[in-house]
């Protein structure tokens, strides 16, 4: 190979290397830009994502607070009534209904208690008569005007003293009135409340307890 031919070959190799190096740099820069763009898009999407959980419960008004404060002791009494059933009734339908009421309302009590804590709204100790139970200073005063359908002390005592068919009749009659009161309170929340979770629970109470009222009315008629 002549000196001239060898020199030309070296120049050609060096030129090819330069071209390949340029392509590599361009691809690397392009990949970096693409990654940065994707990261920016993800950040932007995260910044516009809707809030949920505890943060969402911050949206509330006085009606929401009153709903939770009043429905907690209302539910507590329903759970206490349900707890009477296993030792006083042998009716399988009444036993099943009482178990379902307790299973549904115990978690709702916990949910509403958590709301009040998140809202910085403490519950008020029970001070009025006619509650039928002592809630350990965690509930609002139970007045018929605030919590329709509540059983009185006398009604609770009469129920506790009954057994068998007599108990079933008293319990079903009392629980129907109790559920009707809860539905009335829930409708007030739907009309006046602002918190979406509280309003959803109010609708859930209406749907579930209206269905149970229908069942209990059938048991009384049967």
Question: pLDDT, tens digit, for every residue of 153-167?
Answer: 999 999 999 999 999
3-state secondary structure the chain: CCHHHHHHHHHHHHHHHHHHHHHHHHHHHHHHHHHHHHHHHHHHHHHCCCCCHHHHHHCCCHHHHHHHHHHHHHHHHHHHHHHHHHHCCCCHHHHHHHHHHHHHHHHHHHHHHHHHHHHCCCCCCCCCCCCCCCCCCCCCCCCCCCCCCCCCHHHHHHHHHCCHHHHHHHHHHHHHHHHHHHHHHHHHHHHHCCCHHHHHHHHHHHHHHHHHHHHHHHHHHC
For residue 160, give its domain range: 55-221
pTM: 0.68
Percent of the chain at pLDDT > 70 equals 64
Number of domains observed in the structure of the chain: 2
Q: Based on the domain organization, do 35 and 76 belong to the same domain? A: no
Q: Based on the domain organization, do 116 and 93 belong to the same domain? A: yes
Question: pLDDT, tens digit, for every residue of 30-59?
Answer: 444 444 444 443 333 333 333 334 434 579
- What backbone torsions phi and psi does residue 162 show, to the nearest 5 degrees? -95, 160
Q: Based on the domain organization, do 162 and 82 belong to the same domain? A: yes
Q: Based on the domain organization, do 157 and 66 belong to the same domain? A: yes
Q: Based on the domain organization, do 18 and 74 belong to the same domain? A: no
Q: Based on the domain organization, do 11 and 116 belong to the same domain? A: no
The per-residue pLDDT for 142 is 45
The per-residue pLDDT for 57 is 59
Q: Based on the domain organization, do 44 and 122 belong to the same domain? A: no
Q: Based on the domain organization, do 92 and 138 belong to the same domain? A: yes
Q: Based on the domain organization, do 42 and 126 belong to the same domain? A: no
Q: Based on the domain organization, do 189 and 166 belong to the same domain? A: yes
Residue 198 has pLDDT above 90, yes or no: yes
């Amino acid at each position: 190979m002549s000196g001239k031919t060898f020199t030309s070959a070296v120049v050609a190799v060096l030129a090819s290397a330069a071209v390949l190096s340029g392509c590599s740099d361009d691809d690397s820069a392009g990949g970096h830009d693409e990654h940065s763009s994707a990261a920016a898009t993800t950040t932007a999407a995260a910044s516009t994502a809707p809030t949920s959980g505890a943060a969402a419960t911050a949206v509330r008004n006085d009606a929401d607070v009153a709903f939770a404060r009043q429905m907690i002791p209302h539910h507590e009494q329903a759970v206490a009534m349900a707890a009477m059933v296993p030792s006083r009734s042998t009716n399988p339908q009444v036993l099943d209904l009482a178990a379902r009421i307790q299973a549904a309302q115990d978690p709702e009590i916990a949910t509403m208690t958590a709301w009040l804590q998140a809202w910085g709204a403490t519950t008020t100790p029970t001070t009025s008569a006619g509650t039928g139970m002592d809630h350990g200073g965690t509930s609002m005063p139970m007045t018929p005007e605030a919590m329709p359908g509540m059983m009185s002390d006398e009604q609770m005592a009469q129920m506790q003293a009954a057994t068998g068919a007599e108990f079933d009749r008293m319990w079903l009659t009392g629980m129907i009135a109790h559920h009707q009161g809860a539905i009335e309170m829930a409708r007030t929340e739907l009309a006046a409340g602002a918190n979406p979770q509280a309003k959803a629970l109010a609708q859930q109470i209406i749907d579930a307890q209206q269905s149970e009222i229908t069942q209990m009315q059938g048991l009384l008629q049967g």
